[in-house]
Structure 1
């Protein structure tokens, strides 16, 4: 059997030729940008010092987008870095989601604005009692761009990440820092979202007319792409990139995802990959923070186990990662879960990296997490679970499907529909 090492060599030799041919046949193929340096950052312990240092080096402009910004130790630390930047004349933009950051005190916002930080809320009107799609479309991206020379993309919110019992946790999550030509695409995306939100809040007012041109100098040798999901032109880009990589997989697929309830196309792609001999590994949430989604996802386990897919539940801390490694060279890190909220409604952002060294580093990290903090679900033990638990799982899945319809997504019209959820992902 051909191993992952041989697969990596194959892609190293023939990958460029294959991608050129694929672009001609498929205009939707991911556009990879060369000459980048992508650095993997695991958990807040690596992420927050990196972005704080970048904010303190800023000289021109800053864009920070996040779903959750809390008034806790981490939130105050990053807020002070933003204040320091604005006070020394850096044009500083902070965009937070109206639902995810609902509890952010006005006093903190006032303090930021007094220092010159431009602060806006994405869809500030929220209601827990509506399933209208407009209210459920949230800003779920986690992006920082500094001076258009370095960017950060991932799944880590601006908060301490407390666990269920109120203890500081090493919440299991990832982000990447990006240097090189790809930073321009990330900056342009952040600037567009900021401008659109500003126009909606105060039509006719010019919030950002800066035409500063970033450097596109090479920073490394990595090929990478910046992918977004929005409700305009990029509704399926992240999901499509996953599906293409899964369908082309020849050796191994490792997915780690906090909220896992993908549509039928995605599920079939994983089962088909396992059927052709690809090792498929799912590292999923072991702690129950959203019961409905937790039990609904369990309804899918039987078919995955039947196909030979390995399922591991992470219990060491709260799993918040949204990453994947395929065939030892393709990897993605970002904010997009594989659930209906991320795939159908929210604004999301992922970085895809086609680089063996980066992929191996992420793979090693995931394998260590599986070894030290996860338990495998055995097919026999899964089959032996009580009728009550099976019934709860299928009832939850049914509720999910019902909620799709009342939210405006008819199951028969679009593939793989499931309930949009507002959660702290």
Structure 2
């Protein structure tokens, strides 16, 4: 399998759990920004603590920092008029990725969404993970939550920050440029950006030459169509002791399922922490038909119940010779792995992997319910029918898009 990630050992990486840890770190970085802030998110909601992030963007723009915000046309929709006006007056430049238009999601090409959550400050500091701009205790569809949403992000410095910055800059140009700008100004912009990124990289290497080994792994519909899934499969194939995956929308394709089953068959302990609460029909029911083969192979499935599990993380062999961990936006389902723009950070560092592992084990032990294979096999007929209907609809949707999974 060819290389799927460009690793460098010049990083400082910090694990952040929930908006309660991410938003203060992010707003602190924005308040210290000197030149530019690049921000992409699937959901930008202004309720509760989400407003803190919006206020930080406005403060930065008001003092002259170039501030770019990209939100997804499905996940976010129209911004509230008051916030639109405030951002525009401050100088925050906002773009909507793939607005739906009159036919909405009836057009299959509209299923390709911007699902990554990235924020780069001054080209040197990056935040990446699964956390939207959304208060931990609030859900747009269900209102106030009894317990905080379970999710993670990382804060990192190093060469992957420059890579994230370049990726976001190119998307920004593609979204806003008219034909003459694309033909005449974009090549020069790319050259300037690459030069700036190289300079930032050199400065960061000088400062963090003994840092953590990490990489940014992207998924798009051009050059990086399968890199995140391949990164998972390679790490699972190399596992020797244990695998823990926490994933919100879990419907792995055949290759990924076989990799997990083979790992379990060779004696690796495989534990999955998955969504236990009903959120969406497809997400809840389409996942369940794949559980049977995993349970039969000895894979442990734990369902998270206190609140919505939104994490997209994994840790493998944290205490072994080759620890591996990932935190990002990509679910292990067809929408993330075949259609959406996603971003994950992969970290090969024992201390980071152990920290993440401890948090996931605690969640499984104190907030999860282990699925009993007999109970799964004996679930009511109505539920099994709904599971199969959802699974069939998902396969039909993939056929419409021309994808195999």
TM-score in same-fold range (> 0.5): yes
Pick aligned residue for 2:53 from 75, 78, 82: 78
Q: How many equivalent pairs are there?
A: 386
Match of residue 248, structure 1, among 218, 225, 238: 238
Equivalent residues of 1:184, 1:216 under 8 A apart: no
Give the deviation of 1:235 after TM superposition. Answer: 0.4
- Three-state SS of the structure 2 residue aligned to 1:232 is coil
Pick aligned residue for 1:167 from 135, 144, 151: 144
Q: Deviations over 1:338-379 (max 9, x none)?
A: 111100111000000000110000000000111111000011
Distance 2:12 2:151 in 1: 20
1:127 positional shift = 5.8
1:58-82 per-residue CA deviation (whole Å, 9 max, x = no partner) reads 0011101001112323332211111
Q: Which residues of 2 match residues 22-421 of structure 1 at below 5 A?
A: 26-126=1-101, 130-161=105-136, 162-163=138-139, 165-168=142-145, 169-199=147-177, 204=182, 209=189, 211=193, 212=196, 213-214=199-200, 215-217=203-205, 218-219=207-208, 221-328=211-318, 329-409=323-403, 414=404, 416=405
Q: Is the 8 A contact 2:4 2:217 kept in 1?
A: no
SS where residue 287 of structure 2 aligns? helix
8 A Cα contact 2:38 2:121, kept in partner: yes
| 3-state SS of paired residue (2:307) | coil
Structure 2 residue aligned with 1:18: none
The answer on whether the counterparts of 1:132 and 1:407 sit within 8 Å (CA) in structure 2 is no
Structure 2 CA distance, aligned partners of 1:319 and 1:126? 31
Deviation at 1:243, TM superposition (A): 0.6
- Quick one: structure 1 residues 206 and 36, their matched pair in 2 at CA, closer, same or farther if it must change by over 3 Å? same
TM-score by length of 1: 0.86
Q: Secondary structure at the match of 2:149?
A: coil
Match of 1:4 in 2: none
SS in 2 for 1:243: helix
Unaligned runs of 5+ in 1: 1-25, 417-425
Q: Deviation string for 1:19-65 (max 9, x for gaps)? A: xxxxxxx5424221112111000011100000000000000111010
The answer on whether the counterparts of 2:58 and 2:91 sit within 8 Å (CA) in structure 1 is: yes
Q: Distance in 1 between matches of 2:302 and 2:312?
A: 15
Give the distance between the partners of 2:284 and 2:113, measured in 1 at CA.
21
Q: CA deviation at 1:130?
A: 3.4
* Aligned Cα root-mean-square deviation (Å): 2.0
The Cα of 1:94 is off from its aligned counterpart by 0.7
Whether the aligned pair in 1 keeps the contact of 2:285 and 2:387 (CA below 8 Å) is yes
Q: In the TM superposition, what is the alpha-carbon distance from 1:390 to its structure 2 partner?
A: 1.9
Inter-CA distance 44–380: structure 2 relative to 1 (3 Å threshold): same
The farther-off stretch of 26-35 and 188-197 is: 26-35
Residue 384 of structure 1, CA deviation: 2.3
In structure 2, runs of 5+ residues without a counterpart are none
Q: Contact (CA 8 Å) 2:108, 2:400: kept in 1 or not? A: no
